[in-house]
Structure 1
Amino acid sequence: MKKLITFILLIAHSSLGFANVTLDEKLNLLIASYPSLLSHVDPEYLYAKDGTKWLIDDKKVKNHKEKLVGADIQDTLEQIYPLENCATQADVNFDPGRIRSQSLLKFLFGDNKQQVGKNTQQIDWFGQKLAMTKNHGAAEALIRVQKELSQYPKLKMYLTPSAGTFNWRNISGTNRLSVHSFAAAIDLNTKYAAYWKWSSSKGKVTPYKNQYPSKIISIFEKHGFIWGGRWYHYDTMHFEFRPELIAIANAHKCSNEENKGDKN
């Protein structure tokens, strides 16, 4: 699976020379991230190998809330996850990865609690046993994260006790399943966490803050996890396995660097 992640990153780097990552490139990186299940695209649909298909763009004009509730595939890939050294306040409603196709997630990881549970693996997270999905190399990726983070003993205080991984539940205040439902997410020590709903009132998001060191964030991102601390609706203890978004982010980063070089 480590070779697969490397292959995905190589595909991402092939986007060099483009001013922006196109939708077609994003779709190819999505397929490359889940090659055991996803197959190809045509002008309208994303296809799985068993013939299941998803409409890429429903052509509806949607605001942010409507995208959260009824995302098509294009909506899920629209906002490019930022790979940055520092943690900063995101622009209003910039939530890359928070807009998800629940239908696609169920197909990739399991349609119900029992299906997901059958495909989990127990991970030793600094002495704590956590269940992570084996699908698409997520458990292997979390093991690599743990091994790399263990080289920095001073970071352990932020990492454990983990607030959990596998938990079939809806996102607070919604009818949408959390990525924890698919055993593809981990929450770190809540003592250092900031979550927009905890301090916000009347739907207004309060100023952003973060206490987790950048080393933790960069190691998770290196192994295919996105961080909720990069969202406008921030959730700083939350990481979820979304290798397609990291691959797209790398492609976008490389294309921008190439374009900067052309101007010199």
Structure 2
Amino acid sequence: MTKKFVLSLMMISTVGLVSVSCSRAEGDPEFTEQSFNSNGDSQTSTADSNDTVQSDSEDIVEHIHEEFGTINTDIQALGCVKASTKQENSVNLGLDKKDEFLAKCAAQTNNSAWCSQLVRPNPSSYNTFSCTYGSDQEHVLVHPDESTWKYPIEAVKVIKDLQAKGISVAMIYNWWRPEPYNKNVGGAAGRHPFGTSVDVRFSSNSQANIAFKELCKMRKNGRIRAIGHYGSSSLHIGVGDKTANTWGKYCN
């Protein structure tokens, strides 16, 4: 099977993913998120949560690329949207706070090694990152709004609790994913750009399925708001996502 054929097949599959539907949880409390708009200015999200529901399937695109590294390179070669000066400034503002964030994360998670993975964007999308921000940009993303830091730090605590139950976790590969980098990797607009969630890869599909069941319990208890199942060994953990739902797989 040639690479071009596989690429075409995955593109067709990606289009089909748009039909994936999500259920919105009933009785969701009001929730406000802080993000940065396309110009890099701070803003409060006022988008209808239905927009997030409809776009969640788009986020699966990046995870297809993550699973098939050889395809990822081909897709990245198609080009990207370059970050504006304001968008670059937002990224650099977060970069200046890297040590502060890592210190806070370490202090609240008993010096967890997972903290360092929060600030490193998806390694498989490095070419897209460089295309977006330039090859000289350090491969680090820290949300400059410190009020969002509680979400990834809580995610680390969630991961540690999953490990305590014997679940094998391989890596964290997404936290804050601002625009236009988020769009360039095919990400949904209503999740990672707000810094309220992380993506986690487990050691196997079966371990991810076990973790999903535990996360469903946490969601029922109000500890997290959203869970995404990518049909692989990867899960989206939406600690503070505006839209409280599940997609890809549903909690019983």
Both proteins in one fold, TM over 0.5: no
What TM-score comes out, normalization by structure 2 length? Answer: 0.39
- TM-score norm. by structure 1 comes to 0.38
